[in-house]
Chains A and B, each alone.
Chain A
Amino acid sequence: MTGLEAISAHNGWSIAIVGISIVFTGLVLLSLTISQLHKALDLWEKRGVYWERFKQRGQKTAEPPPERECIFLPRDVKESARQCKLLVEHLGQPFALPRLLEFSDRCGLIHPHSTINELLLAEVIIPDGEGFYLWNDNVEFTS
Chain B
Amino acid sequence: MTILLADDDEADRLIFKEAFEEMDIGTSVETVNDGEELMQLLENSEYEDLPHILFLDINMPRKNGLECLKEIRANKKYKEVSIAIYSTSSSEKDMHETFLNGANVYINKPQDFNKLKKVLEKAIIYANMYQSPPFNKENFLLMAE
Asked whether A and B interact, the reply is no
